[in-house]
């Protein structure tokens, strides 16, 4: 289990953020070997419960779901993946971070873990990967939740994230990284350190760097991705109930796109979460959790 020595513990941070939970669960660190890579994932809860699979966004990792996994783990077996090139999963030796590669990993993990009739939740890049996988694997899901992304995204927000990703990525102290993230997110130092410990690592030479593949941080990097037209077509093919969540302050995902998604799917609920930007589940976890539970309650 990762140390909680930096910043607030998970349970302290969750209470400070108003996350409603009744049991101080912790995840188990696990691995699965697929497509020539060892992928790390966090498993919460027990194997006899309904399954929720969670996919994080670019530059993120499985712990970005902790505030949501913690309360859900009482009633669900929650599996939060570190997708290839992120967190404690292997980096792609051939620098393949295409949508198709991520979709292939999801399918291989689903097969290796024997998952079926499960709930899938994806944020940002993980949301598009979830959409792509779900559109090509009918009959597999109970529900799909897409968080602050869709077949179209806003250039202003995408450029902002790209600029952040291209900042110097080898710093002398952990504090320098903390200051950068605090300026980017507006969160307190303790909250930032509590999350940052999962996102950076100290190298042998004493410098600190991000825990995701350096090629993703390369200036101008663009992985082969499904086009907007492909994603819209895929969205219309998804056969399970869906929830689309948007942060009210998001500069990535426009309300107009969310409304079109609702119109072009047979069973889609939309929720805009107040006091949240792009990282909805981290900015306002109580309201995000309420939206997710609203969908999950249909299957109780």
CATH at 103: 3.40.50.1820
* Residue range of the domain that includes 77: 19-167+225-299
Q: What's the total number of domains in the chain?
A: 1
Q: What is the pLDDT of residue 155?
A: 80
What's the average model confidence in pLDDT over 224-231?
A: 96
Domain assignment present for residue 180? The answer is no
The closest alpha carbon to 69, from 59, 58, 56, 87, belongs to 56
Give tens-digit pLDDT for 235-284. Answer: 999 999 999 999 999 999 999 999 999 999 999 999 999 999 999 999 99
Domain assignment present for residue 14? The answer is no
Give tens-digit pLDDT for 144-189. Answer: 999 999 999 988 777 777 777 777 788 888 888 888 888 777 777 7
pLDDT at 3 over 60: no
Q: Which stretches of the chain are assigned E, i.e. beta strand? A: 28-34, 37-44, 51-55, 77-81, 118-123, 141-147, 170-171, 200-202, 208-210, 242-247, 268-273
Q: What is the pLDDT of residue 276?
A: 95
Q: Classify 161 as helix, strand or coil.
A: helix
Domain assignment present for residue 107? The answer is yes
Domain assignment present for residue 34? The answer is yes
Domain assignment present for residue 206? The answer is no
**Phi, psi (deg, nearest 5) at residue 133:** -65, -45
Domain assignment present for residue 283? The answer is yes
Domain assignment present for residue 186? The answer is no
Domain assignment present for residue 187? The answer is no
């Amino acid at each position: 289990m990762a140390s909680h020595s930096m910043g607030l513990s998970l349970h302290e941070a969750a209470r400070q953020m108003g996350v409603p939970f009744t049991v101080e669960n912790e995840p188990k660190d696990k691995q699965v070997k697929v497509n020539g890579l060892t992928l790390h994932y966090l498993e919460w809860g027990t194997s006899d419960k309904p399954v929720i699979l969670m996919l994080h966004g670019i530059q993120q990792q499985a712990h970005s779901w902790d505030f949501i996994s913690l309360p859900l783990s009482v009633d669900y077996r929650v599996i939060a993946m570190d997708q290839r090139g992120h967190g404690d999963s292997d980096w792609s030796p051939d620098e393949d971070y295409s949508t198709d590669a991520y979709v292939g990993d999801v399918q291989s993990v689903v097969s290796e873990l024997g998952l079926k009739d499960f709930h899938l939740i994806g944020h940002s890049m993980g949301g598009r990967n979830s959409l792509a996988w779900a559109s090509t694997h009918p009959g597999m899901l109970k529900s799909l939740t897409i968080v602050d992304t869709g077949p179209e995204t806003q250039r202003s927000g995408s450029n902002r994230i790209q600029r952040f990703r291209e900042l110097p990525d080898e710093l002398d102290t952990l504090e320098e990284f903390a200051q950068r993230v605090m300026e980017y997110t507006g969160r307190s130092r303790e909250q930032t350190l509590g999350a940052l410990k999962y996102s950076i690592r100290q190298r042998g030479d004493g410098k600190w760097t991000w825990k995701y593949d350096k090629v993703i941080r390369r200036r101008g990097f663009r992985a082969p991705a499904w086009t907007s037209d492909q994603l819209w077509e895929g969205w219309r093919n998804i056969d399970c109930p869906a929830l689309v969540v948007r942060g009210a302050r998001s500069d990535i995902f426009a309300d107009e796109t969310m409304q079109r998604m609702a119109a072009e799917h047979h069973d889609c609920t939309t929720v805009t979460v107040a006091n949240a930007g792009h990282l909805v589940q981290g900015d306002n976890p109580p309201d995000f959790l309420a939206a997710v539970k609203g969908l999950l309650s249909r299957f109780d």
